[in-house]
Amino acid sequence: MGKKTKIALAVAAASAAAWAGTKAIAKPQQRVGKAVVQNKKPLVFAHRGGAHLAPENTLQAFENAVNLGVDGLELDIRLTKDEEILVFHDASVDRTTNGVGLVADLTLDEIKAFKHGYNFEDLEGNHSFRDKQVDAITLREVFEKFPEQIINIDIKDAPDTYEGSLIPSKLWRLIEETDVQDRVIVTSFYNEQIERFNLYAQDRVALGASETEVRKAVTAFTSQFGHLYNPSADVFQVPAKSGVVSLDSPKFIHFLHNLNVPVHFWDVNDLVTMNRLIRIGAKGIVTDRPDIAQVLFEQYKQ
């Protein structure tokens, strides 16, 4: 036996011993489930209110989605200059202004009066912008106007900005003031924003998984050390595929399910895919087409 072979076998033996040792002592902790995401039937969320049916993140879109019977509304938030929480996706109020109309640089009244556009992709896939006839809406107004809906909130302001430093605390205060702790999910691509928010919420609100948390889970799942993974999110909201990584694996969904973490898939806009994902264990669908998802409401009715 050559020297290289002996080294390889020694490394393999050490790795096996490490795996066996951690497997013996590690006790993965199930996430204490939040009622808002622990449902027998799959939940249907209207992505930004159903962005293929109406201008995204607008009252018009939200009303249309609720009338179609969705379980919840998925929306984005940003902080205005006067520290109001605006329901809006882009950093700029009007992307044609090259940053002149940044949400963070304008007050709520200025935004309401501004000739801004809302992103809208019609059923043929054509992108356009709607004009000022569509009013801006605040998160407080969404809470008040839709008291029966689950609200999935995505913090868009980056943590290294002034507005990003304020929005986690502002969001918690609004949630606490309006007493909606049990019907909201708070998430962000930025792990830091979720952690900052939870410093105030103290696990009293359901948390979504950041990109960092998703990578940690995938790494644990694809390695032999999945038993060492303890989730810090109450629900994973992911695309079916991220880069070359498929997140719609039944085994991956089952891995998270065993940790009491349901999986919701977003950007799902056809009925075949919706049904497939639900069959393999998805507990939520986030769609731009709540009209199509109507079929699911009766099919999976509790």
Percent of the chain exceeding pLDDT 70 equals: 79
CB-based contacts of 98, cutoff 8 Å, min separation 6? 92
The pLDDT score that the predictor gives to residue 82 is 97
Rounded (5°) CA angle 94-95-100: 70
pLDDT at 195: 98
Over its C-alpha atoms, the chain yields an Rg (Å, rounded) of 21
Predicted pLDDT at 98: 45
How is domain 30-299 classified at the architecture level of CATH?
Alpha-Beta Barrel (3.20)
CB 56 within 8 A of CB 75: no
**pLDDT attached to residue 101:** 75
Question: Over the stretch 114-160, which tens digit does the pLDDT of each residue have?
Answer: 655 555 565 665 555 554 456 789 999 999 999 999 999 999 999 99
Q: What is the per-residue pLDDT for 255?
A: 95
Report domain extents, the chain.
30-299
pTM: predicted TM-score of the whole model, two decimal places: 0.85
More confident of the two residues 83 and 2: 83
**What average pLDDT does the segment 69-96 reach?**
89
pLDDT of res. 118: 58
Tens digits of per-residue pLDDT, 254-278? Answer: 999 999 999 999 999 999 999 999 9
DSSP three-state, residue 72 = strand
